[in-house]
Structure 1
Amino acid sequence: MTDISHFARPGTQIHVRVTPCAGRNAVVADEGKLRVYVISAPEGGKANSAVAKLLSKAIGVPKSRLRLVRGDTSRDKVFRIEE
């Protein structure tokens, strides 16, 4: 898993590109962009929940501090670190 702990400051917005139904769960920094691969299907918010769980683990903040700001049904999502 990629170390992206520098995103852990409150108020930081994290832009990610999500690939659901992937073969593995992973967070990858690729040319300055974050890509999140999740095994979960994009049904009923399962993939969003899996993305939040992976990001919170990679960043080192509790999942409750990670808020989905934009992209609920899109592959391109924006999360914000809450205080």
Structure 2
Amino acid sequence: MRDTANLVLDFLFANPITSVSEISNNLDKVYNTIHNILKVFIKLNFVSEKIVNKRNRIYRFEPYLNLLEKEYDII
């Protein structure tokens, strides 16, 4: 699972706003595995979750996005 978590993290650097399905499809990994990794990332405050509706959630790689906002004065 550690290797998959590293792949997810790499994916988040390229796609800091994404969904479980997008990560799952791009990495060719099972949806539940990606979802479980993102739950851990949420607990570690790497990722935040926004519920769009009952079945759709968006995940944001907050530390990276915050860094970009500071670097490029996007606020």
Interval containing the TM-score (normalised by the shorter chain): 0.3 to 0.5
Higher Cα radius of gyration: 2
Task: Return the structure number with greater helix share.
Answer: 2
Task: Give me the TM-score of the superposition, normalised by structure 1.
Answer: 0.40
* More relative contact order, 1 or 2 (CA 8 Å, 6+ apart): 1
- TM-score w.r.t. the length of structure 2 is 0.43
